[in-house]
Structure 1
């Protein structure tokens, strides 16, 4: 069952994770949406993060969940970015990916059934 997540990036310029190799590089609402959508549809971001761990083979494989049908819509208002994610990805995995991409510069505003 798909879930819809409403996410806010209060300041897109500050929405960067602690590791530049894993964080957002986007500058616009559409670009943020595209990067997050890719992080949910493929395991590319997860695998880059996993290989940076001390024991990559011991990482919980459930953190690598993907949803090839995930969609992310992005809208920008000045510095503020609103993202609407529709996905079957578990909320814990979505949050982990957002922390990698945006650090602590994001807010989960609402969650609904899709």
Structure 2
């Protein structure tokens, strides 16, 4: 049985949160768009494959960095002046962090992790 975790994340300024590489960066309009983009990044290898293609030696990239979770779910909502994101996944935080950084850079903060 796979261990699933619930990650609670906060983004202070989603409207301006972007990753360092435009080819990988989130370019949506709000919490629902971001939730869909992150969910796709966790479920599908496409974002990882685009990142790997940008590396100096794509064949040398560790395939474990491309782990996905077909059952990952993401929800996001605007609260006051920030966005609250909830991720449920079997992926380790290191992979969730990687995908968040590709999409929105360091514009997020993990607040809690609980068993799902």
TM-score where L is the length of structure 1: 0.96
Match of 1:77 in 2: 79
Write out aligned runs for 1:1-114 (5 A): 1-77=3-79, 79-114=81-116
Q: Which runs of 4+ in 1 moved over 4 A?
A: none
Alpha-carbon deviation of 1:63? Answer: 0.6
Question: Are the counterparts in 2 of residues 13 and 79 from structure 1 also a CA contact under 8 Å?
Answer: no
Q: Partners of 2:52 and 2:81 in 1: how far apart?
A: 31
Q: Secondary structure at the match of 2:28?
A: coil
Deviations 1:73-98 (A, max 9, x none): 11013541111000011111110111
Question: RMSD of the TM alignment (CA)?
Answer: 0.9
Q: How far did 1:3 drift?
A: 0.4
CA contact (8 A) 1:12 1:79 kept: no
- The whole-number CA distance in structure 2 between the counterparts of 1:96 and 1:112 is 19
Unaligned runs of 5+ in 1: none
- CA contact under 8 A between 2:18 and 2:105: conserved in structure 1? yes
Pair 1:94–1:38, CA change in 2 (3 A): same
Judge conservation of contact 2:15–2:30 (CA < 8 Å) in 1: no
